[in-house]
Amino acid sequence: MSDAQPTPPAPRNPISKIDRALGKRILIKLKGRRAIKAVLKSFDDHLNLFLEESVEITHHYDKEKGAVVKEENELDSIILRGDNVVFLTMDEVHLENT
Protein backbone atom coordinates (compact mmCIF):
# COMPACT_ATOMS: atom_id res chain seq x y z
CA MET A 1 0.00 0.00 0.00
CA SER A 2 1.37 3.40 -0.98
CA ASP A 3 1.43 6.46 1.28
CA ALA A 4 1.59 8.81 -1.71
CA GLN A 5 -0.66 11.85 -1.39
CA PRO A 6 -2.73 12.90 -4.40
CA THR A 7 -1.29 15.84 -6.26
CA PRO A 8 -3.22 19.01 -5.39
CA PRO A 9 -4.77 20.87 -8.31
CA ALA A 10 -2.69 23.62 -9.85
CA PRO A 11 -3.51 27.01 -8.31
CA ARG A 12 -5.78 29.17 -10.43
CA ASN A 13 -4.98 32.78 -11.06
CA PRO A 14 -8.24 34.72 -10.53
CA ILE A 15 -6.82 37.75 -12.31
CA SER A 16 -6.66 35.73 -15.53
CA LYS A 17 -10.47 35.44 -15.38
CA ILE A 18 -10.75 39.23 -15.72
CA ASP A 19 -9.71 38.94 -19.38
CA ARG A 20 -13.34 38.04 -20.14
CA ALA A 21 -14.42 41.46 -18.87
CA LEU A 22 -12.21 43.50 -21.20
CA GLY A 23 -14.35 45.89 -23.22
CA LYS A 24 -17.42 45.15 -21.10
CA ARG A 25 -19.25 47.11 -18.42
CA ILE A 26 -18.36 45.97 -14.90
CA LEU A 27 -19.23 46.92 -11.35
CA ILE A 28 -16.31 47.50 -8.98
CA LYS A 29 -17.01 47.67 -5.24
CA LEU A 30 -14.45 49.85 -3.46
CA LYS A 31 -13.39 50.44 0.10
CA GLY A 32 -15.41 53.12 1.86
CA ARG A 33 -18.94 52.24 0.67
CA ARG A 34 -18.31 53.34 -2.89
CA ALA A 35 -18.68 51.62 -6.22
CA ILE A 36 -17.87 52.34 -9.84
CA LYS A 37 -19.66 51.17 -12.97
CA ALA A 38 -17.41 51.39 -16.01
CA VAL A 39 -16.09 49.75 -19.15
CA LEU A 40 -12.87 47.86 -18.40
CA LYS A 41 -10.19 48.79 -20.94
CA SER A 42 -7.11 47.20 -19.33
CA PHE A 43 -5.64 45.96 -16.03
CA ASP A 44 -2.39 44.67 -14.56
CA ASP A 45 -1.32 42.02 -12.03
CA HIS A 46 -1.89 44.47 -9.14
CA LEU A 47 -5.51 44.92 -10.26
CA ASN A 48 -4.89 48.52 -11.27
CA LEU A 49 -7.71 49.20 -13.71
CA PHE A 50 -8.00 51.55 -16.66
CA LEU A 51 -11.69 52.39 -17.00
CA GLU A 52 -13.79 54.40 -19.44
CA GLU A 53 -17.39 55.67 -19.18
CA SER A 54 -16.89 55.56 -15.40
CA VAL A 55 -19.64 56.47 -12.95
CA GLU A 56 -18.93 56.63 -9.21
CA ILE A 57 -21.83 55.48 -7.04
CA THR A 58 -22.12 56.49 -3.40
CA HIS A 59 -24.85 56.03 -0.81
CA HIS A 60 -25.44 58.27 2.17
CA TYR A 61 -28.19 58.90 4.68
CA ASP A 62 -30.25 62.03 3.99
CA LYS A 63 -31.73 63.31 7.26
CA GLU A 64 -34.36 65.43 5.47
CA LYS A 65 -35.65 62.48 3.46
CA GLY A 66 -35.11 60.00 6.28
CA ALA A 67 -33.63 57.51 3.82
CA VAL A 68 -30.45 56.35 2.17
CA VAL A 69 -29.85 58.28 -1.04
CA LYS A 70 -27.88 57.07 -4.03
CA GLU A 71 -25.69 59.59 -5.87
CA GLU A 72 -23.90 59.11 -9.17
CA ASN A 73 -20.93 61.16 -10.36
CA GLU A 74 -19.67 60.79 -13.93
CA LEU A 75 -15.88 60.42 -14.03
CA ASP A 76 -15.27 59.44 -17.68
CA SER A 77 -11.80 57.82 -18.12
CA ILE A 78 -9.90 56.93 -14.94
CA ILE A 79 -7.12 54.73 -13.61
CA LEU A 80 -8.18 52.99 -10.41
CA ARG A 81 -5.49 51.73 -8.06
CA GLY A 82 -5.95 48.05 -7.27
CA ASP A 83 -5.54 48.58 -3.50
CA ASN A 84 -9.02 50.15 -3.44
CA VAL A 85 -10.82 47.23 -5.08
CA VAL A 86 -12.88 44.93 -2.86
CA PHE A 87 -14.44 42.97 -5.74
CA LEU A 88 -15.60 43.33 -9.30
CA THR A 89 -18.31 41.63 -11.30
CA MET A 90 -19.80 41.48 -14.78
CA ASP A 91 -23.09 40.17 -13.40
CA GLU A 92 -25.89 42.22 -14.97
CA VAL A 93 -28.07 41.80 -11.87
CA HIS A 94 -25.44 43.56 -9.75
CA LEU A 95 -25.07 46.33 -12.32
CA GLU A 96 -28.81 47.03 -12.38
CA ASN A 97 -29.27 46.94 -8.58
CA THR A 98 -26.58 49.43 -7.56
CATH code, domain carrying 65: 2.30.30.100
Residue 18 has pLDDT above 80, yes or no: yes
Residue 70 placed within a domain: yes
Domain count, the chain: 1
Domain range holding 28?
20-96
- Alpha-carbon dihedral sign for residues 47, 50, 51, 56: positive
Residue 57 has pLDDT above 90, yes or no: yes
Residue 10 placed within a domain: no
pTM for this structure?
Answer: 0.75
Band of pLDDT at residue 1, cut at 50, 70 and 90: low
* Stretch 48-59: mean pLDDT: 95
- From residue 29, how far is each of 7, 37, 64 by CA, in Å? 36, 9, 27
